[in-house]
Amino acid sequence: MSKPLKQIHLAAHFPGVNNTTVWSDPQAGSHIEFSSFVHFARTAERAKFDFLFLAEGLRLREQGGKIYDLDVVGRPDTFTVLTALAAVTEHLGLTGTINSTFNEPYEVARQFASLDHLSDGRAAWNVVTSWDAFTGENFRRGGFLPQNERYSRAKEFLQTAGELFDSWHGDEVLADQHTGTFLRDAKAGAFVHSGQHFDIEGQFNVPRSPQGRPVIFQAGDSDEGREFAASTADAIFSRYATLKEGREFYTDVKNRLAKYGRHADQLKILPAASFVLGDTDAEAEELAREVRRLQVSGATAIKHLEFVWNRDLSAYDPDGPLPDIDPDLGEHTVARGRAQVRMYRDPLATAREWRERAEANNWSIRDLVIETGNRQNFVGSPATVAETINDFVQADASDGFILVPHITPGGLDGFADTVVPLLQERGVFRTEYEGTTLRDRLGLAHPDAEAAGERAAS
Amino acid sequence: MSSSPSSLHLAVALDGAGWHPAAWREPVARPRELFTARYWADLVAEAERGLLDFVTIEDGLGLQSSHPLEPDGRTDQVRGRLDAVLIAARVAPLTRHIGIVPTVVTTHTEPFHLSKAIATLDYVSTGRAGLRVQITARQNEAAHFGRRPIPHIDPLNDPPAWESVAALFDEAADYVEVVRRLWDSWEDDAEIRDTATGRFIDRDKLHYVDFESPHFSVKGPSITPRPPQGQPIVTALAHDTVPYRLVARSADVGYVTPHDTGQARAIVEEIRTEQTAAGRAGELLHVFGDLVVLLDDDPAEAAARRERLDALAGYAYTSDARIFAGTPAQLADLLQELASAGLSGFRLRPAVAGHDLPAITRRLVPELQRRGAFRQAYEADTLRGLLGLTRPANRYATATAAVGA
């Protein structure tokens, strides 16, 4: 008997602040006006997507001591825009990336519990840790955390928020007009948390929300990050969108669940993925090349090289060969506020490899950046893309994808109109929303049911 | 179109089932819906139907309490609430004209986060956002954050207590200053999308705010572009000299609680003096009177309702604000009389939201309209427009122009 088909989960990442977002296209709209968010969210909901995803950035990035001006810059407040979107959608999950370094558990727990109430159970939290004093300069607590304390604060933050969410059990609000009893229990919301990072106590003031707790997302690829996700997350926002890497990551992380008493289906693995569609595969390939050229201008290519070289390379010709000088080692001073900087752990080796590849292929700086940078994950006709995505999920390389279009706000429209119906025809994607909460959409148990199950089993 | 001198501004303050502690017991109340979007959407839609300038939404970082500084452990009154900024965001796309002004506690929150939250509220409401700043001197709320001690205050009127409260108000003024600087940290035309040079923004039109104070420092610029109103409106409730100073230094609208016309005149005069001292003499600063209202067509009915609610609560409800129980016409008389003392508007606190809010929108408003004292239709698309406040120039843009000149 063959294995039943896995159901694919799909989400939409609002095109964020990076060079994959093509703003120069005549069809590109505002990245800040609410109407763009409404269009994007409604398209995702029309296509029966699981959720909308927002990334985060708490300081404008700099390069060479100046605000970086080549990419889309400017974004709204996550909680505010997600809650407003709850007013113009009915089913779509609302996932916000919220930093555990520059926030406090009581406030964040209040905001997520409020979002969950105000969206009837559609809230999700992508927990991230910040890594630099640069961002800290915008906040009261200033500073930053040593690398080794980031996860420790994040873990304790999440644990504390969980204690706050659970401080109301769900049956406290009687609101009995006849007897005059509003709360069943004067101690509703009582909590005490004493730990390395937080020493707080009192009463949480938001009653238990429809999902009990928001759906918890994690990103983070280190061994520690994977372990953190396996122990606590409902879903992982990963970056492995090739079949081989995807399967390795999937197997590794799912195998870690057992030691925390969890099943494989209690953690969804959802890589970020970009796509380019055309009427034919050849047309899509051609379009994808054009998009890459738009994403990587000559100026952008030079700036990208500076992430590795940690030097001012503005004198170099983007259409010429790679610099023959070596990267400047030591503290990275050229690009600030960039996650990419951390991707190149050995700049000398990276520079050597890039030079060799460029020489072997006769690539200019710009060609190199285009070839080594973020390629589109799915390029082809709707049939090809639908088949590729389905193969990927059925091969256990992921449970679905968080799609990142390169145009705002209409970049999802074509996918919704052409690829989704093909996935539905194959019986691997929903045609109607099931259940009411985001947990229902993702096939995750309600935390109260899980707790009840544990009690029954013990 | 300028409003006539007799024209009043009207706001309502929304809090749970209403301001009377027994409001939730009334048949018209919807106490099981207080934590739903539908409830808040209905209230704000009702306020918009009455052409009101704006609604405020109360908030707090702990459970509500009948005690000014401590939790009271009561179970017979509404306890628990949702985040006010998020309630505001949830109702904004469902309305078109009315201003939306959530309460924000400055003592334990981050001005950077708050600045972008209110800017975003301004985007999602297309220019109808404001905020009401509030401090908290409650020790139990400080314990929810565990970051800073708040001195024990008892009794309320002893001088050292006032010193620590005054420090919290000073911090609130710094907070507003940072928030306003962050709103200005992007010039309006910073996004250029210049395909020739590949630049999305003109970074010369983005500005570091570089604010330093004893409680926080903020570098900036904001991550959110300057909001539609340039600066959403800032409001604060004030009961004494120290908070009057905050209003005078930092606010666009101050709420005060006079109990008669003479008191109203004295308060307005004190705020105007502080306003001059703060160097804002020429600026439009609204002073609104706050009143708790119980409205019925028969004055005896309103009085009886107040008694019934007090009986349900188990005590006679008192408030910082004057409590008015009477007819809409009587309230209209009172508002016009108080306005003669220099108040430009009122923030009414419905004792029972489900009863007194519709009484304001459907009885009081038509009465004021008949007297030519209230608008017949929304005459502006933004909250600043409704309040007669111009869109402020960007301080950094002005500085650049001055340097260039």
| Concatenated DSSP letters of A357-424 | HHHHHT--HHHHHHHHS---SEEE-HHHHHHHHHHHHHTTS-SEEEE--SSTTTTTHHIIIIIHHHHH
| Integer Cα distance of B139 and A258 in angstroms | 43
The beta-strand segments (E) located in B135-285 are 191-194, 199-201, 211-212, 217-218, 233-237, 253-256
Please report residues of B whose CB lies closer than 8 A to that of A70: 198-200
- A71 touches B at CB < 8 Å: yes
Please report residues of B whose CB lies closer than 8 A to that of A87: 37, 41, 90-94
Length of chain B: 405
Over residues B193-205, mean pLDDT: 95
Candidates B71, B80, B86; nearest CB to A118: B86
Please report residues of A whose CB lies closer than 8 A to that of B219: 59, 137-138
- B214 touches A at CB < 8 Å: no
Closest CA to A259 of A237, A226, A235, A222: A226
| DSSP state letter for B8 | P
Task: Mention every residue, 6+ apart, whose C-beta is less than 8 A from residue A36.
Answer: A29, A30, A408, A409
Establish how many alpha carbons lie within 13 A of residue B168's alpha carbon, considering only the half-sphere containing its beta carbon: 24
What's the pLDDT score for residue B157? 66
The structure's pTM equals 0.96
pLDDT in tens, A251-263: 999 999 999 999 9
A416-432 residues labelled b (16+ CB within 10 A) or e (exposed): bebbbebbbeeebbbee
On whether the CB atoms of residues A423 and A389 are closer than 8 A, the answer is yes
The beta-strand segments (E) located in B207-355 are 211-212, 217-218, 233-237, 253-256, 286-295, 322-326, 345-350
On whether the CB atoms of residues A85 and B94 are closer than 8 A, the answer is no
| Integer Cα distance of B95 and B86 in angstroms | 15
Residue B224 has pLDDT above 90, yes or no: yes
B1 confidence band (pLDDT: 50, 70, 90): very low
Candidates B71, B112, B141; nearest CB to A139: B112
| Own/partner pairs, A351-354, CB within 8 angstroms, 24+ separation | A351/A308, A351/A309, A351/A322, A351/A326, A351/A327, A354/A308, A354/A322
Query: Which parts of chain A have pLDDT scores under 70?
Result: 1, 131, 143, 340-342, 450-458
Strands A275-277 and B211-212: unpaired
Candidates B123, B141, B186; nearest CB to A33: B123
If you measure CA to CA, which chain A residue comes closest to B27?
Answer: A177
Q: How many CB atoms lie within 10 A of CB B400?
A: 15
| Integer Cα distance of B46 and B65 in angstroms | 27
Over residues B2-30, mean pLDDT: 89
Sequence letter at residue A360: A
- A79 touches B at CB < 8 Å: yes
- A294 touches B at CB < 8 Å: no
Candidates A84, A202, A299; nearest CB to B140: A202
Please report residues of A whose CB lies closer than 8 A to that of B191: 73-74
User: In chain A, positions 90-129, which contact chain B (CB-CB < 8 Å)?
Assistant: 102-104, 106-107, 110-111, 113-115, 117-120
Would you call A175 and B73 a contact, using CB atoms and an 8 Å cutoff?
no
What's the pLDDT score for residue A76? 98
Would you call A33 and B80 a contact, using CB atoms and an 8 Å cutoff?
no
Candidates B79, B199, B223; nearest CB to A60: B223
On whether the CB atoms of residues A34 and A81 are closer than 8 A, the answer is yes
On whether the CB atoms of residues A232 and A216 are closer than 8 A, the answer is yes
If you measure CA to CA, which chain B residue comes closest to A202?
Answer: B144
User: In chain A, positions 172-191, which contact chain B (CB-CB < 8 Å)?
Assistant: 173, 175, 177, 180-186, 188-189
Please report residues of A whose CB lies closer than 8 A to that of B195: 24
User: In chain A, positions 241-260, which contact chain B (CB-CB < 8 Å)?
Assistant: none
Q: Using DSSP, state whether B326 is helix, strand or coil.
A: strand
Please report residues of A whose CB lies closer than 8 A to that of B82: 113-114, 117-118, 206
| Integer Cα distance of B42 and B91 in angstroms | 9
The nearest CA of chain A is from the CA of B281 a distance in Å of 32
| Integer Cα distance of B398 and A380 in angstroms | 51
Residue predicted with more confidence, A147 or B33:
B33
What's the pLDDT score for residue B399? 57
Would you call B217 and A142 a contact, using CB atoms and an 8 Å cutoff?
yes
Strands B211-212 and B217-218: antiparallel
Candidates A71, A137, A199; nearest CB to B146: A199
- A450 touches B at CB < 8 Å: no
Strands B253-256 and B286-295: parallel
Would you call A173 and B32 a contact, using CB atoms and an 8 Å cutoff?
yes
What is the token pair recorded at A80?
């505010």
Strands A215-218 and A123-128: parallel
Residue B46 has pLDDT above 60, yes or no: yes
Over residues B10-36, mean pLDDT: 98
Please report residues of A whose CB lies closer than 8 A to that of B76: 180-182
What's the pLDDT score for residue A457? 55
State the best of B77, B109, B200 to mutate against chain A, taking most chain A CBs within 10 Å: B200
pLDDT in tens, A50-69: 999 999 999 999 999 999 99
Would you call B93 and A60 a contact, using CB atoms and an 8 Å cutoff?
no
Mean pLDDT of chain B: 95
Sequence letter at residue A24: S
B2 confidence band (pLDDT: 50, 70, 90): very low
- B23 touches A at CB < 8 Å: no
Mean pLDDT of chain A: 93
| Integer Cα distance of B339 and B286 in angstroms | 12
Would you call A175 and B91 a contact, using CB atoms and an 8 Å cutoff?
no
CA torsion, points A152, A346, A300, A296, in degrees to nearest 10? -90
State the best of B26, B136, B201 to mutate against chain A, taking most chain A CBs within 10 Å: B201
Would you call A173 and B206 a contact, using CB atoms and an 8 Å cutoff?
no
| DSSP state letter for B94 | G
The nearest CA of chain B is from the CA of A451 a distance in Å of 24
What's the pLDDT score for residue A192? 98
Would you call A34 and B141 a contact, using CB atoms and an 8 Å cutoff?
no
Sequence letter at residue B229: Q
Residue B221 has pLDDT above 70, yes or no: yes
State the best of B85, B113, B181 to mutate against chain A, taking most chain A CBs within 10 Å: B113
What is the helix (H) or strand (E) element at residue A254, kind and residue range? helix A243-256
pLDDT in tens, B102-150: 999 999 999 999 999 999 999 999 999 999 999 999 999 999 999 888 8
User: In chain B, positions 120-139, which contact chain A (CB-CB < 8 Å)?
Assistant: 120-121, 123-124, 126
Would you call A83 and B108 a contact, using CB atoms and an 8 Å cutoff?
no
Please report residues of A whose CB lies closer than 8 A to that of B71: 203
User: In chain A, positions 376-395, which contact chain B (CB-CB < 8 Å)?
Assistant: none
| Integer Cα distance of A392 and A245 in angstroms | 11
Please report residues of B whose CB lies closer than 8 A to that of A139: 110, 112, 216, 218
pLDDT in tens, A203-248: 999 999 999 999 999 987 888 889 989 999 999 988 887 899 999 9
Q: Using DSSP, state whether A49 is helix, strand or coil.
A: coil
Would you call B82 and A114 a contact, using CB atoms and an 8 Å cutoff?
yes
What's the pLDDT score for residue A454? 59
pLDDT in tens, B361-385: 999 999 999 999 999 999 999 999 9
Give the number of beta-carbon pairs within 8 Å between A and B: 226
What is the token pair recorded at B149?
């001690």
Work out whether the CA dihedral B134, B136, B140, B142 comes out positive or negative.
positive
Establish how many alpha carbons lie within 13 A of residue A255's alpha carbon, considering only the half-sphere containing its beta carbon: 7
Residue B5 has pLDDT above 50, yes or no: no
Q: At what angle do helices A223-232 and A243-256 cross, to 10 degrees?
A: 60
| Integer Cα distance of A119 and A114 in angstroms | 8
pLDDT in tens, B253-274: 999 999 999 999 999 999 999 9
| Integer Cα distance of B27 and B305 in angstroms | 12
Length of chain A: 458
What is the token pair recorded at B203?
């970074």
B160 confidence band (pLDDT: 50, 70, 90): confident
Would you call A104 and B27 a contact, using CB atoms and an 8 Å cutoff?
no
Please report residues of B whose CB lies closer than 8 A to that of A205: 60-64, 79-81
| Integer Cα distance of A112 and B16 in angstroms | 19
Candidates A88, A205, A299; nearest CB to B80: A205
Task: Mention every residue, 6+ apart, whose C-beta is less than 8 A from residue A55.
Answer: A13, A14, A16, A17, A97
User: In chain B, positions 41-80, which contact chain A (CB-CB < 8 Å)?
Assistant: 41, 60-64, 71, 73-80
| Integer Cα distance of A55 and A375 in angstroms | 19
Please report residues of A whose CB lies closer than 8 A to that of B91: 87
A100-132 residues labelled b (16+ CB within 10 A) or e (exposed): bbbbbbbbbbbbbbbbbbbbbbbbbbbbbbbbb
| Integer Cα distance of B140 and A113 in angstroms | 20
What is the token pair recorded at A286?
């051609």
What's the pLDDT score for residue B152? 80
Would you call B87 and A118 a contact, using CB atoms and an 8 Å cutoff?
yes
Task: Mention every residue, 6+ apart, whose C-beta is less than 8 A from residue B337.
Answer: B261
pLDDT in tens, B285-339: 999 999 999 999 999 999 999 999 999 999 999 999 999 999 999 999 999 999 9
